[in-house]
Chain A
Amino acid sequence: MKFIRDVMLVFWLYVQESRSCIGYFLLSAVLLPGGLLLFTTGVSEGRPSLRLLAGSMLFALSMLSIMGLGSTLLEDRFRGRLKLILMSSLALVLWPRLLPWRDE
């Protein structure tokens, strides 16, 4: 089915494109909550909780993913990469909804 195939292709295209920064992405997901946890245990008297650390990392990963996706979409819209994809013959179900500039 072309729709599923196109979704997979776009996904793989972006995976390939972002391979170079995946390390920074994972590192920041560990460093950010890790630093915050150290800070909070430093200012409080309790013992560091592994559950809190794991939760913070998961939260950081989700936040970074959402921010990354948003900034990628915006960047690609203004750099014309999104247009390049949309001008290919994507599955009909995808393209009309993805053209915010069609009727400016």
Chain B
Amino acid sequence: MPAAIRIRGLSKRYRSGILATANLTLDVYEGELLALLGPNGSGKTTLVRQVTTEMRPSEGSVEIMGIDAIRHGQRVKQIIGVVPQEAELFEHLTVEQHLFYFALFRGMDRPGARRCVESAIDELLLGERRKDVIKHLSSGLKRRVLVAIALLSDPPVLVLDEPTTGLDPESRRALWQVLLERKRRGSTMILTTHYLEEAEVLADRIGILSHGKLVALGTLSELRRKVRGSGLLDGSEEGLMEVYFRFVEEKV
């Protein structure tokens, strides 16, 4: 299967000397959802920021659909949708206005933007709240609007940085349905999360980051096999929780 995202030897050293990501190499295949797990400060967001062209890596390369994300960031932005971890919306604009403006930013003409807005509103079930200003929405709905913005123009690659953090179980499940539907339609996704059950439900493969290094990468059953092979766990159906802690504690 061809790789939609190719990351090679990616490192980021901050001016303070902290090495946030260390020589990361991985492929995310077309139509795949890769979940990135790891404790706070493990480098998940730094990796995402480098992939989305927001941050320039110290070393290494990132290619999205064959385009060099470091040299041609502008072209890459046209084919990716990003849900940043910390982004607030404009409080006095309505849901519809947000989607319309961001569709125009993506270079669409007005009729095209209106069509995209309708489709995003339908997909994210925002129809009843389309005329509401953002300050009157719950945090779950605000996250849904952020996801809707990322989905405008139907990008083939989606990067979601902890999209469900702080959401109640119902809102989280509603977002999962959206992501599963996107996956069914062939989108390639990178999802960072702290919710292990989210990774279990959504991800085709799971990557575990610790201290800026990719300490594990594979399907859940592959990771289980690795843990079992290390002799540290002997059960046949260890949950992702046990597997995760084994890798993060670097006992595998």
Residues of A within 8 A of B (CB): 2, 5-6, 9, 12-13, 16-20, 79-81, 83-90, 92, 95-96, 99, 101-104
User: Known: A17-B90, A17-B93, A104-B14. Is A85-B54 also a contact (CB below 8 A)?
Assistant: no
Shortest Cβ distance from A86 into B: residue = B54
How far apart are the CA atoms of A54 and B56 in the complex, in Å? 49
B-side binding surface: helix, strand, loop or mixed? Answer: loop
Contact of A84 among B56, B91, B106, B149 (CB under 8 A): B149
- Shortest CB-to-CB span from B177 to chain A, Å, is 24
How far apart are the CA atoms of A99 and B92 in the complex, in Å? 25
B138 interfacial by beta-carbon distance below 8 Å = no
User: Known: A87-B54, A102-B56. Is A79-B88 also a contact (CB below 8 A)?
Assistant: yes
Residues of B contacting A102 in the complex (Cβ-Cβ under 8 angstroms): 54-56
Residues of B contacting A6 in the complex (Cβ-Cβ under 8 angstroms): 105
Count A-B contacts at CB 8 Å: 75
B101 interfacial by beta-carbon distance below 8 Å = yes
Residues of B contacting A96 in the complex (Cβ-Cβ under 8 angstroms): 73
Asked whether, in the complex, the Cβ of A81 is within 8 Å of the Cβ of B87, the reply is: yes
B102 interfacial by beta-carbon distance below 8 Å = yes
Residues of B contacting A86 in the complex (Cβ-Cβ under 8 angstroms): 54
Which residues of chain B from 52 to 98 have any CB-CB distance to chain A below 8 Å in the complex?
A: 52, 54-56, 73-74, 77-78, 82, 84, 86-93, 97
A-side binding surface: helix, strand, loop or mixed? Answer: helix
Asked whether, in the complex, the Cβ of B74 is within 8 Å of the Cβ of A20, the reply is: no
Asked whether, in the complex, the Cβ of B104 is within 8 Å of the Cβ of A89, the reply is: no
Closest A-B pairs by Cβ, 4 of them: A80-B87, A88-B105, A89-B77, A79-B88
Contact of B88 among A16, A80, A92 (CB under 8 A): A80
Residues of B contacting A5 in the complex (Cβ-Cβ under 8 angstroms): 104
How far apart are the CA atoms of A6 and B104 in the complex, in Å? 8
- Shortest CB-to-CB span from B128 to chain A, Å, is 22
Shortest Cβ distance from B55 into A: residue = A102
Shortest Cβ distance from A85 into B: residue = B105
How far apart are the CA atoms of A3 and B89 in the complex, in Å? 23
